[in-house]
Chain A
Amino acid sequence: MRNIAVLGLLGTLALAGPAEDLDQYRASVVQVFTTSQSEDYMRPWQRPRASGSGGSAFFIGNKRLMTNAHVVSDAKTLLVKRADRSKRYPATVVFKGDDCDLAIITVKDASFFEGMEPLRIGNRPDIRSTVAAVGYPMGGNKLSVTQGVVSRIELRGYSHTGADEHLTIQVDAAINPGNSGGPVVQDGKVVGVAFQGQFFAQNIGYMIPPSVIRHFLEDIGDGKYHGYPELGLYTAKLENDSLRRHLGVPDNESGVLVLKPTPYASCVGHLRRNDVVTKIDGNRIQNDGTIKVGKEFLDFSFIVEGKQIGDSVTLTVRRDGKLIEVPIKLKKWAARMSQAYQYDRRPEYLVTGGYVFAPVTTNYLYRSRGTEELSFYFRQWYRTIAVEGKSREQLVLLSRVLRWPTTRYQDYSNGIVSKVDGTVPKDFADFVRMLDNAKKDLVKIEFEGVNTPPLILDRRVIAKSHKDICKRYGITKDRHVEEPKK
């Protein structure tokens, strides 16, 4: 799932360049010690053993330290330590943006910040310019400064959630565990936050660029992190001459072909299939879907990268032979079925009479080592629900059957619930409500797939066996259900 390793709790890259003075950062770049505990998706009523890890963070003023979201996700305890002190201070997370892998943490004890100089956010460094990564990578406990060259700037996936893509800067020095959250500096200013590397490559490390850092800082200005808006368009390139002729796109014009506005996102109701988007905020879109940004060609969604939720973007669209301007108010993608890995959330589940139900999520698939079959259904339903906007908002799964005399001969493996007494549950909370409110003794639960036998829940049998089953299997709480946000 993740071929790019987040460096979480790991650390720094780069060597001190001639322009960078280690002492300058000794007080401002701190080491982060995290004790984290994730979730057990197969036995969601309990948690797996906690583990420790480390990362880096840097002072940005106002009692705030910036680090990576993955350094502090699922944290149970968080400690920070300055390079020039021996004491470790307890810290707390103030803001966290999993989609951009950035977080702000703070320390209550004001003495921690004494003598610290905030690091300023600089501008995007040029290709081939030298940068230095400061942090606490593996291999030692002292502050480390390493040097590298900016080798590539492009939009690419952020592996913390596995589903988000933002501008990323590649540097040619290896970024190692422990570097995560540490600043990458140039001329005394922060030009990136080290965050991920490549497992099977040499000298490829990635940092979060200033534009993403500023977007995050601007977003939290109102005291809450909202995330990135989504244009929400399925498009195709228009590199093919025949396709362009067929669509009536003049030779001197370029753009991308709209296949479908994604449900739950910004363009629904504004664009339609076979529109050709030629410009975004006045920037000409090339036939391969890029726009020119400085010396680089970047995907046209780069323009949306700089926007906040609620901002507008103007698309120039060729429709029915005419060019029109379409203003779009940007929204966050509101589908509940997401392919993003989620953190700091209890898994939802329900245990009833030995049957364990849960919503299908990326976390579930990843943590439970979900079967290929289940992954297939997830992808298929993700397409149906999130992309095509059909009926359901979540998939409900019979994740396992606890063996008991009343659950004998159960041969389910990850059955996806299709109906409860003939009605499709729209999400997990809805499913649980259906069971809780059932009036009949027998509740029929049907599953996806060809000729999969239904499960008949006999509420009389469950009433008699449920407590014993929970007791014998060590189930301290038989459910965790979250009602969808209105």
Chain B
Amino acid sequence: MNRPVAILPLLLLLLFALGAVRTASAEDMAPRLRNALVKIRVTGQSWDSTEPWKKRRPGTRTGRGVVVQPGVVLTLANIVRDPIMIEVSREGGARLYPARLKHVDARVGLALIEITDEKLRAQLKPIEIGDPVKLDDEFDIWQLNSDNLLQRATARVVAARASSTRLTLKVNTTNPNSGDGQVALRDGRIAGLLTGSVRRQEGTILSVETIRRYLKDFDDGTYHGCPGPGLWIQPLLRQDLRTFYGLTDDQHGLAITRVMPNRTGSGVLQKNDVLLAIDGFDLDDEGKFIHPAHGRLDTRWLFQGRRYAGDKIKASVLRAGKVVAVEFELKPFPASEMRVPARPANGRPQYLVEGGLVLLELTRAVGVGRSTGGVILRRYVERATWDEPNARRRVVFVDHVLKDISNKGMNSFSKRPLLKVNGQPINEIADVVAALKKPQGDFHVFGFEGVQSDFVLPVKEREAINERIAERYMVTRTRYLHGDPE
């Protein structure tokens, strides 16, 4: 008697629920996407990394993006690299509208550009960021094709990959093109951006989790980036290491081999601790954990790629044979604090040309070669990125020497790290400028790392020498330091 009464509300609930998750059809989406997808055309030109007064040949890149805030387009970082001019076009037309770079995070791989044409801004409508997609989920990938017409492909998630900065999903897709910011949509909301190459119908999308984290990072008005590493960790697959760290057969985790001062985990975690669990996720011996939606993922994503500096992390740690619960704060480690960053800030190398020495700050974008000096530099490249910021702030080195009669017989300085100028230690390239104000008698004396003679530059002739070299080698500008006029 009571049974039909009970079933009726249940059926009604199910009907409502079905309505709520009804997939937006391609026909439904097309009108909205016409006002949300844009094609981006970027004229880019990078600085020459070893003759930084020059720029390389300009090039044009084309990518896609989607409006996520009024007048603001989300796209991939590599599309907008070294921009000189950014333009966008919209569905159905060839007209190009001006835009400007609003923000880029190369490590995460995302960027925001702002459309500056007021009329277009008003016409374009943001699309909401959707819920995370998981393994086997299906969705559409939309783009504006070469004729600026809407084109749709289907995709299905087949695997997930995590790194210290982002979560990506591998998809099987009918999309024939390489990923350049094409938009994954599910239920009318953004489900990811297609990135990287599409080969044999396999592509990669940047996940909703990564996109959400990136956009939310601006909430306090400043972008902070993913928390930096502060820990050195090692997998514990090998039995010899498991024995050494005292793990029982049912304990699994990652050994901590170093905790960097003032970085994530400092003061709480210790060398030789074994991380067993983070935020309730058990770690395995390879450094991965099981995510309920994405499967096995890299542990670094747990406390870097999905979190924010200042967040608190709860962890379970094996220390001296006992399992202890700890809590530590995630700390930032911006590229500006790395001794050897991946690229110069803003893509523009700081440099000085003095007496023919082309002095640069070392970045991983510079080829160090195989010379004796290169061997020394490579040591810095290997270690310095992860080093504490208490040593030299930057490595200043001679990339090469512009030969001149004044430096005759003194041109074996290529790739040599510069240690001192006029007796003053050099911790960054600005120090060279300061040190040149205090010559040693009649000379400026440059001292280098390794078995190497000093380089001397006569004070009285310095200006004339620099002018002569600049003129002969067409060095249009003999210095660029941050703060100098562009």
Identify the A interface with B (CB < 8 A). Answer: 234, 236-243, 245-246, 257, 259-260, 287-288, 376, 379-380, 383, 387-388, 406, 408-410, 442, 444, 449-451, 453-458, 461
CB of A178 to closest CB in B, whole Å: 35
Q: Nearest residue in A to B378 (C-beta to C-beta)?
A: A376
Residues of B within 8 A of A236 (CB): 412, 452-453
Tell whether B201 is near chain A: CB-to-CB under 8 Å.
no
> Is the C-beta of B379 less than 8 angstroms from some C-beta in chain A?
yes
Contacts of B237 in A (CB 8 A): 408-409
A239, B442: Cβ atoms closer than 8 Å? no
Please tell me if the beta carbons of A243 and B238 are within 8 angstroms of each other in the complex.
Answer: no
The 8 closest A-B pairs by CB, nearest first: A239-B409, A236-B453, A456-B240, A456-B244, A409-B237, A240-B409, A246-B456, A409-B238
B239 to chain A, nearest CB (A): 7
Q: Assuming A243-B409, A442-B244, A451-B386, what are 5 further A-B pairs, CB within 8 angstroms?
A: A246-B445, A288-B409, A444-B244, A450-B382, A456-B243
Q: How many residues of B contact A (CB 8 A)?
A: 37
- Asked if B257 and A240 make an inter-chain contact with CB atoms under 8 angstroms apart, the answer reads no
Contact with A along B377-391 (1 / 0, CB 8 A): 011001100100000
Given A242-B406, A456-B243, are A451 and B257 also a contact pair (CB < 8 Å)?
Answer: yes
Distance A246 CA – B355 CA, assembled complex (angstroms) = 15
Whether the Cβ atoms of B408 and A239 lie closer than 8 Å is yes
Which residues of chain A have C-beta atoms less than 8 A from B454's C-beta?
243, 246
Most chain B beta carbons < 10 A, residue from A237, A242, A287, A288: A242
Whole-angstrom CA separation of A241 from B244 in the bound complex:
61
- State in angstroms the CA–CA spacing of A380 and B368 once bound together: 14
- How many angstroms between the C-alpha atoms of A451 and B237 in the bound complex? 16
Task: Report the separation of the CA atoms of residues A422 and B410 in the bound assembly, to the nearest whole angstrom.
Answer: 43
Task: Kindly list chain A residues whose C-beta atoms are within 8 Å of the C-beta of B451.
Answer: 234, 259-260, 387-388
In the bound complex, what is the Cα–Cα distance between A287 and B451 (angstroms)? 19
In the complex, the answer to whether A287 meets B409 with C-beta atoms within 8 Å is: yes
- CA gap between A388 and B382 in the complex, in Å: 21
Contact residues in A for B386 (Cβ distance below 8 Å): 450-451
Indicate which residue in B257, B376, B456 contacts A242 across the interface (CB closer than 8 Å). B456
Minimum Cβ distance to chain B for residue A464 (Å): 13
> How far apart are the CA atoms of A461 and B383 in the complex, in Å?
34
Name which of A236, A243, A408, A458 has the most chain B CB atoms within 10 A of its CB: A243
| A451 near B258: Cβ-Cβ < 8 Å | yes
- In the complex, A237→B452 CA distance in Å? 11
What CA separation (Å) do A200 and B348 show in the bound complex? 43
Residues of A within 8 A of B458 (CB): 242, 245
Query: In the bound complex, do residue A243 and residue B456 qualify as a contact, i.e. CB atoms below 8 Å apart?
Result: yes
A453 with B234: CB separation less than 8 A:
yes
Cα A388 to Cα B449 with chains together (Å): 12
In the bound complex, CA of A412 to CA of B258 (Å): 20
Chosen A-B contacts, 14 in total, with CB atoms closer than 8 Å, are A239-B408, A239-B410, A241-B408, A243-B409, A245-B458, A259-B451, A259-B453, A379-B375, A444-B244, A450-B382, A451-B232, A451-B258, A451-B386, A453-B234
- Shortest Cβ distance from B450 into A: residue: A383
Q: Does B243 contact A458, Cβ atoms closer than 8 Å?
A: yes
Contact B241 A454 (CB under 8 A): yes
Q: Is B372 an interface residue (CB 8 A)?
A: yes
> In whole angstroms, what is the CA distance A234 to B451 when docked?
7
Does A383 lie within 8 Å of B375, measured CB to CB? yes
Q: Is the CB of A257 within 8 A of B453?
A: yes
In the assembled complex, B183 has its CB within 8 A of some CB on chain A: no
A380 partner residues in chain B, CB cutoff 8 A:
375-376, 379
Min distance, Cβ A167 to any Cβ of chain B, angstroms: 24
**Cα of A444 to Cα of B442 in the assembled complex, Å:** 55
Rounded to whole angstroms, the CA-CA distance of A410 and B456 in the bound complex is: 51
**Which residues of B from 233 to 260 have beta carbons under 8 Å from A?**
234-235, 237-241, 243-244, 257-258
Complex CA distance for A260 and B452, rounded to whole angstroms: 9
Q: Are B407 and A240 within 8 A (Cβ)?
A: yes
Q: Is B457 in contact with chain A by the CB < 8 A criterion? A: yes
Interface digits, B400-425 against A, CB 8 Å rule (1 contact, 0 not)?
A: 00000011111010000000000000
Q: What residues on A are CB-neighbors of B240 within 8 Å?
A: 455-458, 461
Given the interface pairs A242-B456, A380-B379, the reply to whether A408 lies near B410 with Cβ below 8 Å is no
Measured CB to CB, the nearest residue on chain A to B258 is: A451
The residues of B that contact A453 with a CB separation of less than 8 Å are 234-235, 238, 241, 257
Closest residue on chain A to residue B236 by CB atoms: A453
Which chain A residues lie closer than 8 Å to B456 at the CB level? 240, 242-243, 246
Cα–Cα, bound, A239→B257 (Å) = 50
Chain A residue with the shortest CB-CB distance to B235: A453
B97 CB within 8 Å of chain A = no
- Within the assembled complex, what's the spacing in Å between the Cα atoms of A451 and B450? 25
Which chain B residues in 430-468 approach chain A with CB under 8 Å?
442-443, 445, 450-454, 456-458
Residue numbers in B under 8 Å from A461 (CB-CB): 240
A410→B442 CA distance, assembly (Å): 59
- Give the distance in Å from the alpha carbon of A450 to the alpha carbon of B260 in the complex: 13
Q: CB distance B410 to A245 under 8 Å?
A: no
Interface pair A238/B379, CB less than 8 Å apart: no
- Are A243 and B232 interface neighbours, CB within 8 A? no
Q: Judging by beta carbons under 8 Å apart, are B410 and A240 in contact?
A: yes
Give the complex CA separation of A387 and B452 in angstroms: 12
Given contacts A242-B443, A442-B244, contact A383 B372 (CB under 8 A): yes
CB nearest to B465 among chain A residues: A242
Measured between beta carbons, the chain B residues less than 8 angstroms from A257 are 453
Tell me which residues from 335 to 373 in chain B have a Cβ below 8 Å from any Cβ of chain A: 372
Nearest CB to that of A260 among chain B residues?
B451
Q: Which of B206-245 contact A (CB under 8 A)?
A: 232, 234-235, 237-241, 243-244
| Interchain CB contact under 8 A, B453 and A376 | no
Given contacts A406-B239, A408-B239, A456-B240, contact A243 B453 (CB under 8 A): yes
Which listed residue (A242, A260, A409, A442) contacts B243, Cβ 8 A?
A: A442
Contact indicator B410/A243 (Cβ below 8 Å) = yes
